[in-house]
Amino acid sequence: STFDELSLSHHSYSSHISRGNSSSSSIRDNSDLLAAYDNAIKSFCPNILLNEINTSSVSVRCTYFTGVCMLADISGFTKLSNELGKDGKNGLDELRKATSGFLSKFIYLVYSYGGDVISFAGDALICIFRHENGMAPCESKRKAIECGLKLKEHYTDQLSAHIAITT
C-alpha cells in the first residue's frame, strides 16, 4: 500500500535495511521494524488521512467532504503552566500529568462520537465530524454538538473547555 511505501522510504528504516543481511531472521526483524514504524507514523495521522492513503492509488490529491468542524480549546492551560512552571521539573511533571489526562479524555470522547482529531493548535484540538453517505443531513451536526457538550462536562479545578462548532 502507499502507507507501506511511506514507511519504507523513512530514512531510519532504509538505513536499518542497508545494514542488515538477507537471512530469514533479519527479514523477520525488518518486518517487525516496519510494523513499528507504521504504528508510530499512524499515531500522528488523523483517521481521515490514513483512510485516504490506504484506499488511494494517487500519491497526492485533494479530498472534499461535508461535515462539521469543532475546535475544543482547553481553558486555564496557560495559567496552570505558569504556576507549575515555577516548581521546576516537578511542576512540569505535574503539568504533563494534568494536561495529558485531560487531552486523553478529550480525544477518547471525540472518537467515541465518530469524530476525528485532525490537528492540535496549541492547547486546542481541531476535530471533524464527517457526513457519511446514508447519514441523515443533521447527524454529523448532532454528533459534534453532543460531543462538545460532553467535553464541557470534563473539567478540573484548573482546566475547562471552550467549544466552537461550525459547518
Q: What pLDDT does residue 139 have?
A: 92
- Mean pLDDT to the nearest integer, 142-146: 94
Q: Which of 16-30, 116-130, 138-152 is predicted most confidently? A: 138-152
Residue 32 pLDDT level (bands cut at 50, 70, 90):
confident
- Strand pairing partners for 116? 128
With a cut of 70, say whether residue 98 has pLDDT above it: yes
**Phi, psi angles (nearest 5°) of residue 137:** -55, -30
The counts of H helices and E strands in the chain are: 7, 4
Overall pTM > 0.85: no
List the beta strands (DSSP E) in the chain: 67-75, 116-121, 124-130, 160-166
CB-facing half-sphere around the CA of 130: CA atoms within 13 A: 14
Strand partners for 163: 72
Is residue 112 predicted with pLDDT exceeding 90? yes
pLDDT value of residue 127: 94
CB 72 within 8 A of CB 113: no
